[in-house]
Amino acid sequence: MTKQQANWSPYDNNGGSCVAVAGADYCVVAADTRMSTGYSILTRDYSKICKLADKCVMASSGFQADVKALQKLLAARHLIYQQQHNKQMSCPAMGQLLSNTLYYKRFFPYYSFNVLGGLDSEGKGCVFTYDAVGSYERVGYSSQGSGSTLIMPFLDNQLKSPSPLLLPALDAVTPLSESEAVDLVKTVFASATERDIYTGDKLEIVVINAEGIRREYIELRKD
């Protein structure tokens, strides 16, 4: 008598890719806008990027219902923080909060692959990358989602953080200018769209710097 298996799954994968790149005084967060299920497209115009605080933006791919729930929770917690501390949450603080929130559901996870991007309290770019249960690390750049296996090696090649084995430890943020970083992100998505069926339609790019947050859209292949 074999063990009874579930005949349904609570999860679905809506596909898509996210990227974040940290610079000396800016941070670029980008994600495609395609939402799919199986071999079908649900919509070509869905934003995976959410502003959590003044200088802190999160991009998430995976199961968008779980992503929505997570965004709602974090927004509520941020509101409470603002009322208790009379200031906005910094990016590293939000990073820790996200990690704790994800681990809280360790045994029924949010199927959400996140990258958090923003400016730290000194005004330098910071990027945090997560797995589905909250393991996180501050890095100079990261990608998550269905196209991440295509994107990450190219980012490694162009932006390579010096190896952690080399001493003294060198800073992970890229020396590229803001416009060069945005061009890099556009190229990376155009290439991922060629080879990953779940990435495409439009690219949403969010740039955070001392002046504030600005948004840019470019067209991608729609097939």
Instruction: Point out which span in 23-31, 58-66, 91-99, 163-171 binds another protein (CB under 8 A).
Output: 163-171
Residues in the chain: 223
Q: Which amino acid is located at 65 in the chain? A: A
Helix (H, G, I), strand (E, B) or coil at 67: helix
Nearer to another protein, 100 or 187 (CB): 187
At closest approach, how far in Å is the CB of 82 from another protein?
A: 38
Per CB under 8 A, 40 contacts another protein: yes
Of 219, 181, 217, nearest in space to 200 by CA:
219
The span from the CA of 210 to the CA of 91, in Å, is 14
**In the set 4, 9, 86, 163, which binds another protein (CB under 8 A)?**
163
User: Do 56 and 116 form a contact (C-beta atoms < 8 A)?
Assistant: yes
Per CB under 8 A, 220 contacts another protein: yes
User: Do 205 and 215 form a contact (C-beta atoms < 8 A)?
Assistant: yes
Per CB under 8 A, 222 contacts another protein: yes
* Interacting residues with another protein (CB under 8 A): 2, 36, 39-41, 146, 150, 157-158, 160, 162-163, 165-166, 180, 183-184, 186-187, 189-190, 193-198, 218-223
